[in-house]
């Protein structure tokens, strides 16, 4: 293997080195953020987005040069041409993922989702203190237009600036709905939510049967982003809320989480009634 590498032309070696660096770069950016080596702004914005785009461009340029040189070489070596093609395809595929994430971000402009937009479930003082200690985004008033919220007013289009959280959530085609309690008691509802959160891998789960509130923390595998989740078990239904601590768009993660939590809670209630 070493002998074969020595026989490769310099441009092919460069492409192979850059291709090896590509996944390593994004892995380091993600895990460095997750384990607190640097802040999420540096890991996501600087390393992944800014640095990642520069690296993708370098890989693409090097691969194009290598492909041209390999194609013109005589005798033509099929393996060298293949490396050049792979070097072009890899950054294009990564760029497609970036563009898809950008489109998903545009379709999910907020990061605070609740099933009750008129009176969203509130977080406990303990959760609010944890959010403050982490430098988390302030919780939004659901009735205030985005253009009047400091976090959004310089970042949203004029069309979005006049809309509030309640309107954006209500207009979602996948808007999550409250879960009817059916014949279950409030205590059974609290237990079902706590069990469902545990199934989903949430941590710091805190059920309070007296108030009907259940809280937990969700953490992403990549980057270790944390979202706070709360459920309010009332007399007839359970309402859910999931809020990201950092970032502007949640890429749909909070909506998907509430939908899954609702389904799992319903399954728990169904199992308890049998």
Say yes or no: 60 and 182 in one domain.
Answer: no
Say yes or no: 47 and 123 in one domain.
Answer: no
- The domain boundary, picked from 87, 107, 127, lies at 107
Say yes or no: 221 and 268 in one domain.
Answer: yes
Enumerate residues 6+ apart whose C-beta is below 8 A from 77. Answer: 70
Banded pLDDT at 261 (limits 50, 70, 90): very high
Instruction: Using CB atoms within 10 Å of the CB of residue 19, give its burial: 0 to 12 exposed, 13 to 18 middle, 19+ buried.
Output: middle
What pLDDT score does 14 carry?
A: 97
In a domain, 151, yes or no: no
Say yes or no: 194 and 236 in one domain.
Answer: yes
Mean pLDDT of 185-201: 97
Residue 238 near residue 179 (C-beta atoms within 8 A): yes
Rounded-to-integer distance, Cα 104 and Cα 95, Å: 14
Say yes or no: 127 and 79 in one domain.
Answer: no
Check the CA dihedral 209-215-216-218 and report its sign.
positive
In a domain, 154, yes or no: no
Domain enclosing residue 243, as ranges? 112-138+177-273
- Quote the DSSP letter at residue 135: T
What pLDDT score does 2 carry?
A: 44
Average model confidence (pLDDT) for the chain? 94
Say yes or no: 134 and 68 in one domain.
Answer: no
Number of domain units in the chain:
2
273-115-208-202 Cα dihedral, nearest 10 degrees? 90
Say yes or no: 221 and 96 in one domain.
Answer: no
- Quote the DSSP letter at residue 123: P
């Amino acid at each position: 293997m070493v002998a074969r590498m020595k026989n490769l032309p310099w441009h092919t070696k460069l492409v192979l080195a850059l291709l090896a660096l590509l996944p390593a770069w994004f892995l380091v950016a993600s895990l460095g953020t997750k384990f607190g080596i640097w802040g999420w702004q540096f890991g996501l914005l600087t390393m992944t987005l800014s640095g990642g785009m520069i690296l993708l461009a370098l890989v693409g340029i090097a691969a194009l040069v290598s492909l041209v040189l390999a194609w013109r070489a005589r005798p033509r070596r099929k393996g060298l041409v293949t490396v050049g093609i792979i070097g072009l395809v890899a950054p294009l595929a990564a760029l497609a993922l970036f563009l898809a994430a950008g489109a998903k971000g545009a379709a999910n402009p907020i990061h605070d989702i609740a099933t009750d937009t008129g009176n969203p479930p509130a977080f406990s003082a303990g959760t609010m203190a944890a959010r403050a200690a982490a430098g988390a985004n302030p919780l939004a008033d659901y009735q205030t237009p985005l253009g009047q919220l400091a976090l959004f007013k310089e970042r949203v289009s004029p069309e979005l600036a006049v809309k509030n959280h309640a309107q954006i959530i209500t207009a979602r085609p996948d808007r999550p709905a409250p879960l009817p309690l059916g014949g279950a008691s409030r205590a059974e509802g609290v237990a079902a939510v706590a069990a469902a959160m545990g199934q989903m891998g949430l941590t710091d789960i805190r059920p309070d049967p007296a108030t009907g509130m259940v809280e937990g923390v969700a953490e992403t595998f990549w980057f270790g982003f944390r979202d706070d989740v709360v459920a309010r078990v009332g007399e007839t239904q359970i309402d859910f809320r999931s809020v990201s601590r950092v970032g502007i768009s949640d890429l749909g993660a909070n909506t998907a989480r509430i939908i899954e939590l609702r389904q799992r809670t319903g399954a728990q209630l169904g199992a308890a009634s049998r």
